[in-house]
Amino acid sequence: MSIMDNEKIGYIFIISAMLIWGSVGVFARYIPQPSIVIVFYRVLFASLSLLFMLAYNKDLNFDLKGNNKILILTMGVALALNWIFFFKAIKITTIASATLSYYSAPIILTMLSILFLKEKLTKQGIAALLLGFIGISVMLLGGSSNGLATIQLKGIGYGLIAAAFYALFTLNNKLVSNLSAHYLTLLQTGISCLILLPFIIHYPLPNLKSLFLLLIMGVVHTAIGLILYIKGLRISKVQDVGALSYLDPVSAIFFGIIVFGEIPSLATLIGGGLILFGSYIIISK
């Protein structure tokens, strides 16, 4: 298989993860729990499902020798904080606003890849990132008649903080390469679970409906989504992953329309079109 074909498979993995993650805000809206509780049960169910999967395949033998344990620990912390602040944003603003502010992360990620991974920007990568950035800006600044004055700035602030942790999480995933995606996802979610446990023990157990939704979020949005994302990340350039990541907010807006009737403005549609075109440039190069 050629390098080009390998990259295209990586793009498919990344796009699949983005479409899965685009629906996560819908599930979070239906769970009447604080963001830290949602994240805890999400990573708990993800860890348990991965353990079951690996045990079923009799594949629980893995060695951390040669791996940077600090990087792995950092990934678990970044993963937890990333989702906590994202769900905080989801709870106090629209799915579109929360997700779009969150997706300033690809810009941060591209800059980090240049600084720490010594990646060189390609023309297609620059074009895609610029289109994505312009698209996000159009959506945020033109999303209402009064621009940012009518958007809940606190929610956007939470989204931007989440974006910084998302970029750190992705960069660290790129630096750890000799663990399978299944094992790495298990470690990340397991660490997140242990870190959050002391902070949620005083909360009551969620009701059955919430637990069912959290189970879906843990298995589908977390375990499966992260495995696809890590697999794609390892055979794709970080800057390409950054550009393709813009598909997440576009799909989130679509789910917001279908489920909650949050009709996007003309600016949102124009911005989303620019984002999609940028992603097309990456895939078709």
Q: How confident is the model at residue 149 (pLDDT cuts 50, 70, 90)?
A: very low
- Percentage of the chain beyond pLDDT 70 is 86
Rounded to whole angstroms, how far apart are CA atoms 34 and 41?
11
Q: What's the pLDDT score for residue 147?
A: 47
Instruction: Give, to the nearest 10 degrees, the angle between helix 95-102 and helix 153-175.
Output: 40
DSSP character string of 95-115: HHHHHHHHTTHHHHHHHHHHH
Q: How confident is the model at residue 270 (pLDDT cuts 50, 70, 90)?
A: confident
Rounded to whole angstroms, how far apart are CA atoms 184 and 209?
29
Q: What's the pLDDT score for residue 186?
A: 87
Q: Which DSSP symbol is given to 32?
A: -
Instruction: Find, among 88, 131, 98, the residue nearest to 242 by Cα.
Output: 131
Q: What's the pLDDT score for residue 9?
A: 85
Cβ–Cβ < 8 Å for 244, 18: yes
CA triple 259-261-267, angle to 5 deg = 120
In the chain, the amino acid numbered 268 is T
Task: Write down the residue that tokens 């078709």 correspond to.
Answer: 284
Q: What's the pLDDT score for residue 66?
A: 58
Give the number of other CB atoms < 10 A from CB of residue 127. Answer: 17
Q: What are the residue ranges spanned by the domains of the chain?
A: 3-284
185-237 pLDDT, tens digit per residue, is: 888 889 999 999 999 999 999 999 999 999 999 999 988 988 898 888 888 77
Cβ–Cβ < 8 Å for 270, 123: no
Rounded to whole angstroms, how far apart are CA atoms 18 and 276?
13
Instruction: Find, among 244, 242, 249, the residue nearest to 271 by Cα.
Output: 249
Q: Which DSSP symbol is given to 263?
A: P
Cβ–Cβ < 8 Å for 55, 233: no
Q: What's the pLDDT score for residue 20?
A: 92
In the chain, the amino acid numbered 151 is I
Give the number of other CB atoms < 10 A from CB of residue 119. Answer: 17
Task: Write down the residue that tokens 């679970």 correspond to.
Answer: 193
Claim: this prediction has a pTM higher than 0.85: no
Rounded to whole angstroms, how far apart are CA atoms 249 and 166?
14
Coil, strand, or helix at residue 209? helix
Give the number of other CB atoms < 10 A from CB of residue 70. Answer: 9
54-104 pLDDT, tens digit per residue, is: 887 776 666 666 556 788 888 899 999 999 999 998 888 778 778 777 877
Question: CA quadruple 136, 138, 144, 147: dihedral positive or negative?
Answer: positive
